[in-house]
Amino acid sequence: MRVVATKGGRIHAVAIRTQDPRVRQDFRTAYDALTYEITAVPDRVASSCRTYLRTLGLEMGVFDFAVTDDGTWWFLECGPGAQWAWLQEETGAPIADAVADTLTGETA
């Protein structure tokens, strides 16, 4: 799961799925074996992402999570400059709008 969160509170999550065993540990090994789905973020996860950004003084963060079959979200990492544009291309999620609003100060 990749979550793009901005200082203004906008959050976009995309599930990155595959059944290909080559990709189970690192999806970057075979992009052609992936499917994408816009996903809702549980409230406690969204709140934690916002707290993370606020605590570290970040304008945005790209969070990676592993989600178990029972729906438990496990935090892996956050990169303030990690890749996200390809997720918008795959899903149509308005991630660039959220990032642009943050950069121009339109965070409300």
Q: What mean pLDDT is predicted for residues 41-61?
A: 95
Query: d(Cα 11, Cα 1) in Å, to the nearest integer?
Result: 13
Whether 55 maps to a domain, the answer reads yes
- The answer to whether 80 touches 3, Cβ cutoff 8 Å, is no
Whether 108 maps to a domain, the answer reads no
Confidence band (pLDDT; 50, 70, 90) for 25?
confident
- Residue 108 confidence (pLDDT) above 70: no
Query: d(Cα 48, Cα 65) in Å, to the nearest integer?
Result: 12
Q: What pLDDT was estimated at residue 53?
A: 94
Query: d(Cα 61, Cα 65) in Å, to the nearest integer?
Result: 13
The average confidence (pLDDT) of the chain is: 88
Q: What mean pLDDT is predicted for residues 32-39?
A: 88
Whether 67 maps to a domain, the answer reads yes
- Residue 27 confidence (pLDDT) above 80: no
- Residue 23 confidence (pLDDT) above 90: no
Question: What's the CATH number where 93 sits?
Answer: 3.30.470.20
Whether 45 maps to a domain, the answer reads yes
- Residue 74 confidence (pLDDT) above 60: yes
pTM: 0.85
Q: What mean pLDDT is predicted for residues 57-70?
A: 93
- The answer to whether 90 touches 12, Cβ cutoff 8 Å, is no
Number of domains in the chain: 1
**Domain span including residue 9:** 2-103
- Residue 1 confidence (pLDDT) above 90: yes
Whether 23 maps to a domain, the answer reads yes
Whether 12 maps to a domain, the answer reads yes
Token pair recorded at residue 6: 């901005």
42: left (phi over 0), alpha (psi -120 to 50) or beta: beta
